[in-house]
Amino acid sequence: MTAEELFPEVLAGHVALCVGCHTATRAPIPVRYIESASGPGTTLYACPDHAVELGAGPTPEDVLRRP
């Protein structure tokens, strides 16, 4: 086991994986929101470079709820 495996890099702040390049980004942009039937939905994020390619999809604020 290497030192990098024992002590992985810890990123501070809001960090998410980009759905385009699958790397961690410190500037995540929500691009998709997936509803779930049995709990809260999931927000997918992209890095600034891939957010333009993927386009903005529905986010939790965009989803219409029935009154």
In this structure, is residue 34 part of a structural domain? Answer: yes
Q: Which domain holds residue 40?
A: 11-67
In this structure, is residue 5 part of a structural domain? Answer: no
* Per-residue pLDDT reduced to its tens digit, 6-62: 887 766 678 899 998 999 888 898 888 888 888 888 889 999 888 888 776 555 666
More confident residue, 67 or 1: 1
* pTM of this prediction exceeds 0.75: no
For residue 18, the model assigns a pLDDT of 92
Torsion of CA 7, 8, 14, 17, to 10 degrees: -160
In this structure, is residue 54 part of a structural domain? Answer: yes
For residue 40, the model assigns a pLDDT of 87
More confident residue, 1 or 18: 18
In this structure, is residue 1 part of a structural domain? Answer: no
In this structure, is residue 25 part of a structural domain? Answer: yes
In this structure, is residue 50 part of a structural domain? Answer: yes
Task: Using alpha carbons, select from 41, 12, 65, 9 the residue that is nearest to residue 30.
Answer: 41
Q: What distance in Å separates the CA atoms of residue 32 and residue 59, rounded to the nearest whole number?
A: 6
